[in-house]
A and B are shown apart, each in its own frame.
Chain A
Amino acid sequence: MSSYFSLQLKKVIKHNLTIISLVILLLISFGLLYMKSAQLTATGSLKGDAQGQIAVKREALKADRQALKRYSPHGKSYKATEKDIKQIEKELKKDQTFVDNINHNYWKRVYEIKLKREQKGKLTDLSSDEKDGHKSIILRLKYLIVHPMPYESDSAVTGIQFLLDLNANYWPVLFSLVMIFILTYLFTGSYKNGLDISSVLPINRFQSTLTNNIVGLSVVSFIFLLLNLLVFGGAASIFGTGRSDYPYIIHHLVSGHLVPGIVPTAKLLPQAVILQLLNFIFMVLFVQLIAKIFHNQLPTLLVSLLLLLGGHFVTIFIIPLEKIAQWLPGTYLGVLNIVSNQTAYTMNNSAINFSNGVFTLILSSILLLLLVLLIDRLTTVTHRNGRLA
């Protein structure tokens, strides 16, 4: 059985598809990193905003000083402009201090100032989602005041933040898409003209199915780890590793409602890893089942893509399904959004959580495994019955 495992593994490793897939995913990832790095000092970032304010105020100051020359020193306009200039100079000084604090890594002071500014903002015109978003920012700043550390929320470029961003927003679909291609190749490789040629090997169908599952799971997990490692290494070597205790915005259930909260990033990882592994097991079994039904590469690929990725998006297009989304395995494709309850918050369904994810994915995987074994059994019986008929 180990030699069969080794042969199946070689089939995947030696195929150009695997290398091309890895390269494509890396190119996309580093392309995103490049785009995100451009946002670092842009408007909207902590430092960029302050610097923008300084530039605007300097222009205003210049204009006011020019205007002052035109006015009579005893006139009302002169006095008003003079007052304006003093106010702008005061604010400019504050902004400059804010930027200096950032430059000198006086993060506690930075966050205290930022918190005061955020708390001054008017919330009356905001929607409830926007209010929750604002509350999250306040919570994050409060956490950062207690645990001062460099700001990483401008743009996810540090090793850890970039990895989280990719895993939350891009890879659930992109990585699954690529893995479906590889798994389809692996599982349909033993079918030639519709015949399962692996049946002439001196191993039984159960062993062959089990080995293929393990190979599929190993390949997907290995590529995922390798990709994470390379992306993390790349981002960390340019922008630093980032902090594993940096606050991550979550939603938690309080009196039946999901409200914003904050946890250190590292706290989310164990649950995310468990759910990710279960997702991989589900995906491997699913593609294998489809391969056993169709015995052909193209239909297997199309049906797997349609059902696996379609299953992920179905709740977006068929809104009523949000109510039962917790029982659909496709809901749990983006594991970080599950463990942070972001998906539950977006779908307004608090039952979409880690526990239900584990339950749904395990149950679905068991069902898929039983179906795969049933097909194996039926194939064997068909041949045997044909012989006895």
Chain B
Amino acid sequence: MLIVQNLSLKTRQPILHDFSYQFAPGQFYQIAAENGSGKTSFLRAVTDLIPVSSGKVLLDGKPYAKNKRKLFFFESNEWFNVNLTSLDYLKFVKKQWHSNVDLNQELDLLGVREYVKVPIKKYSLGMKQKLIVAMYLVSGAEYYLMDEITNGLDEESRAILYKRLNDEVVQRNKCIILTSHYSSEIKVNNLHRLVLQKQMMHEVDQ
């Protein structure tokens, strides 16, 4: 369980005020908000990338810093070192997260295998996003924090991705927290929609 207690967040401007929520395994959470309202900052705060004004985040009863292997977060393709290849990153993630996921199998899901040994600097946006997806799956982490993961993916790839994420939630009991603009196309089980508006985040009916 990812427990957020009375979390307040402020960067240049107030982002979030006194937010409390429990993100449970086997559930899919979509966070929707206007651009610039702080979705990414919320994910950064959960992963200690930025300090919070007040509040607490516990991952299975421990602070994130002591339970990092349970969660995977790769914010955007800007985080890549473009001289490395997909294989470099995937092998790294598999080893670092002590994952027993079959790397070969994940390479085929969105077709990463075709360019697995090509340096990232030669990738299109879509190729980079597919690699990020593969990294999440290869990590074998229990919690996925995904920020606009479908950016640059075509319709077919988005459909494959959502189907796979649904399997991750239903069959592997994963907890997925995803920020996305395309709210209508998310067709997964156990879906919860949260809206971040005027520094308040709350769950809404689907």
Contacts and interface: CB of A to CB of B under 8 A. Distances in A.
A11 B44 CA distance: 24
Contacts of B63: 384
A224 interface: no
B52 interface: yes
Contact of A7 (B52, B74, B88): B88
Contacts of B136: none
Nearest to A189: B81
Contacts of A87: none
| Size category of the binding interface on chain B | 20 to 34
Nearest to A6: B92
A202 interface: yes
Contacts of B91: 3
Contacts of B54: 386-389
A387 B44 CA distance: 13
A14 B85 CA distance: 10
Interface in A144-201: 189, 192-193, 195-197, 199-201
A382 interface: yes
A385 B52 CA distance: 9
Given A7-B92, A197-B75, A203-B96, A383 B83 contact: no
Contacts of B49: 195-197, 199-200
B84 A14 contact: yes
Interface in A4-26: 4, 6-7, 10-11, 14-16
Contacts of A4: 92, 96
A43 interface: no
B54 to A, nearest CB: 5
A43 B91 CA distance: 62
A380 interface: yes
Interface residues of A, number: 31
Contacts of B55: 387
Contacts of B51: 382-383, 385-387
A251 to B, nearest CB: 47
Nearest to A203: B96
Contacts of B95: 2-3
A10 B44 contact: no
Q: Which of B52, B56, B63 has the most CB of A within 10 A?
A: B52
A3 B44 CA distance: 24
Interface in B85-101: 88, 91-92, 95-97
A3 B84 CA distance: 14
A197 B44 CA distance: 10
B53 interface: yes
Contacts of B48: 199-200, 383
Contacts of A6: 92
Interface stretch (B65-73, B153-161, B172-180, B190-198): B65-73
A200 B84 contact: no
Contact of A195 (B44, B56, B81, B97): B44
Contacts of A200: 47-49, 68, 73-74
B4 to A, nearest CB: 11
A11 B56 contact: no
B110 to A, nearest CB: 22
B84 A7 contact: yes
B83 A202 contact: no
Contacts of B53: 386, 389
B119 interface: yes
B186 interface: no
B88 A10 contact: yes
Contacts of A3: 91-92, 95-96
Interface in A359-389: 380, 382-389
A368 to B, nearest CB: 25
B78 interface: yes
B146 to A, nearest CB: 13
Contacts of A193: 78
A15 B82 CA distance: 9
Contacts of B83: 10-11, 14-16
A253 to B, nearest CB: 50
Contacts of B65: 204, 380, 384
B191 to A, nearest CB: 25
Contact of A202 (B56, B68, B74): B68
Contacts of B119: 14
A296 to B, nearest CB: 15
21 contacts: A3-B92, A3-B96, A4-B96, A10-B83, A10-B88, A14-B84, A192-B78, A193-B78, A195-B49, A197-B79, A199-B47, A199-B48, A203-B68, A203-B96, A382-B51, A383-B51, A386-B51, A386-B52, A386-B53, A387-B51, A389-B54
By Cβ-Cβ distance, the 6 closest A-B pairs, closest first, are A386-B51, A3-B95, A202-B68, A14-B83, A202-B69, A383-B51
Interface of A: 2-4, 6-7, 10-11, 14-16, 189, 192-193, 195-197, 199-204, 380, 382-389
Given A199-B49, A386-B52, A386-B53, 12 more contacts: A11-B83, A15-B83, A193-B78, A195-B50, A197-B49, A197-B75, A200-B73, A202-B69, A386-B51, A387-B51, A387-B54, A389-B53
Interface of B: 44, 47-57, 63, 65, 68-69, 73-75, 78-79, 81, 83-84, 88, 91-92, 95-97, 119
